[in-house]
Amino acid sequence: MGHKSANVNIFFLIEGTESVAPYKPQIMEAISDIYRLRFGEGRQVRYGAMIYRDIPEEKGNGITQHIALTSQFDQVKTFVENTPFESLYDRDEYTALYYGLNKALKVGGFDKKDMVSVLLLGSYGDFKVNKSRKLSDANHPAYIKDSESIIRDLNDIEANVYSIQVHNDGYRAAKSFSAISQHLILETAKYSYNTTYGSSSGQELLQTMRENSDQFKIEVPTMELDPADTRTPLEGASILGALNRPSAGNSLSAAQVRQIMAAEIANSIGFVSTFKEVVVKMIDNGETLEDSFEGLEGRQEDGQVRTAGEFAPAMAKWLYGILEGREVPVEDIIKEKLRLFTEVYLPRNLPDAQYPTVSYVLFMPENDLRDYQQTINRCVVVGGSYDKKREALFEVYKALVEQFTQDWNGGKDITRNDLIAQMQGVGGMGLKIDDPLDHVIEDVLNSKKVSNGRVDEIIARFAEVSTFLDGIIRQGDAYDFCYATDELNRYYWIPIESAF
């Protein structure tokens, strides 16, 4: 789960019956609490919801109602708020829980690249645990014969599933909610474990990890239900999950439901943020795996006490994905510095090094370099009014966009940073390029958005670049980063920060 993108999918799967209806105000408050969580800069968060009932309700409000994942939070909040939590025709406590979850996975719009968290709220389990219902509804589409396909789908998106039972009367329908929750969470984790380590190469990798680090004692995930526990977490898995429930004969308070919903989502976000922190230490700083985990033990985070061990299964799976099919000794990654990902990654910064190991460059034949210099000189030689300067600068940008992207299309919303990324070839991938003079290109024509002073700075910068490029061209073969097949065919590598 830790390798997922910065984007987040949060899906609410809620039993829409009278049993849950008293909690609706607090559920709405919890949804708003989740929206206010600190997800981190640059993360796109999408929300979705599925309300499920039981088969008899298809004559009324329907077995299910849903809204697919969307970044429009207010739409999701309004949907949940306006959807009735009632049973007009159903005469028993059982629900179509499996059908609701199965449908949510099909129509929810989940992106497997994103971090996915599913909040399941209800009181009673699926009707299939009742013999008479199982027989009478065996041919109905809501009857899910086995949960294997659901588990595969949950694994496919690496979903963190948090189940919250609001009412537990202690009878079979309520007990089955806990049992089904445990089954779905635990079996998805086991499925992930078996598909990752089921092969001989997976077993070999797992054994090597266990032998080389005390933190990598990876075993089959567990989730043991204890009647005395109000929260049962999934343990030893690369995904997160938990069952929250009251003891038999009791209900959660409205305040508890609100607090639990927000806390579980905060737990997911905190886990991923800390995991990425460890990965950054390994890749950017060249630290070993064990050094990267230092400082995690006992860390307080959103009410959770972190331990290095809880990250081990996710880290092991991430490493497996990187090392699969490559002959890279695992012990080198765990124990030694500077041999990290020798066939995959190069640390950008090494301890005590003055400069990074890599930097962005432009690679240009000499003719293209001369053309580029002539293009930027169009704004350098222009004097007179700022209107003329702005127009010249805009024409330079336009010419560069057309040269490097072949798609001006009005230049709408293209920034200097976008142009630099396109010129270098990195596009939307790789490390971020920060240009202190960054602005939307078309805004250079608007004095309210790009000041006269900033226009002078940009033109002065292009003048510096032109002078720098002129010096490179004069050096020719003597330039350290010039490759020449003959005098007519020279190629130059130029640091991006010196070329724009």
- Kindly report, residue by residue over 120-163, the tens digit of the pLDDT: 999 999 999 999 999 999 999 999 998 999 999 999 999 999 99
DSSP assignment string, 155-201: HHTT-EEEEEESEE-SSHHHHHHHHHHHHHHHHHHHHHHHHHHSSHH
Is 356 inside any structural domain? no
Same domain, 316 and 179: yes
Q: pLDDT at position 466, please?
A: 86
Round to whole Å and give the CA distance between 24 and 319: 42
Distance CA 23, CA 301 (A): 27
The yes-or-no verdict on residue 460 having pLDDT over 80 is yes
Rounded to the nearest angstrom, the gap between the alpha carbon of residue 406 and the centroid of all alpha carbons in its chain is 32
Higher pLDDT, 370 or 295: 370
Whether residues 254 and 380 fall in one domain: no
Residue 345 lies in a domain: no
Residue 434 has pLDDT above 70, yes or no: no
Confirm if 239 and 159 have CB atoms less than 8 A apart.
yes
pLDDT in tens, 243-282: 999 999 999 999 999 999 999 998 888 888 777 777 777 6
Distance CA 382, CA 401 (A): 20
pTM: 0.66
Residue 332 lies in a domain: no
Query: pLDDT at position 78, please?
Result: 96
Mean pLDDT of 6-32: 93
Q: CB–CB of 97/143 below 8 Å?
A: no
Taking each helix axis from N to C terminus, what angle separates 172-197 and 308-323, rounded to the nearest 10 degrees? 50
User: Are residues 232 and 106 part of one domain?
Assistant: yes
- Residue 174: inside a domain, yes or no? yes
State the pLDDT at residue 381: 73
DSSP assignments along 121-137, one per residue: EES--BGGGSHHHHHHT
Q: What's the mean pLDDT when you consider all of the chain?
A: 83
Is there a single domain that holds both residue 14 and residue 71? yes
Domain housing 262: 8-320
Inside any domain, residue 261 = yes
Tell me: do 316 and 369 sit in the same domain. Answer: no
3-state SS, residue 497? helix
Note the pLDDT tens digit of each residue in 380-424. 777 788 888 888 888 888 888 777 765 655 556 788 777 777 777
306 and 403 co-located in one domain: no
Q: How far apart are CA 69 and CA 79, in angstroms?
A: 12
Q: Are residues 316 and 382 in the same domain?
A: no
145 by DSSP, 3-state: which? coil
- Sheet of 45-52: strand order equals 64-70, 45-52, 8-15, 115-122, 160-165, 241-244, 231-233
Candidates 373, 359, 388, 370; CA nearest to 500 is 373
| Co-location of 301 and 431 in the same domain | no
- Verify that 120 and 261 share a domain, yes or no: yes
Do 253 and 401 fall within a single domain? no
With respect to residue 331, please indicate whether it lies within any of the assigned structural domains.
Answer: no
The answer as to whether 328 is a domain residue is: no
pLDDT at 305 > cutoff 60: no
Mean pLDDT is lowest, of 14-23, 310-319, 419-428, 438-447, for 419-428
Tokens representing 96?
Answer: 């179509």
In this structure, what CATH number is given to the domain that contains residue 92? Answer: 3.40.50.410
Phi, psi of 474 (to 5 degrees): -65, -35
Q: What is the pLDDT of residues 191-227, one digit of tens each?
A: 998 988 887 777 777 777 777 666 666 788 999 988 8
Our count of domains for the chain comes to: 2
Indicate whether 408 and 475 sit together in one domain: yes
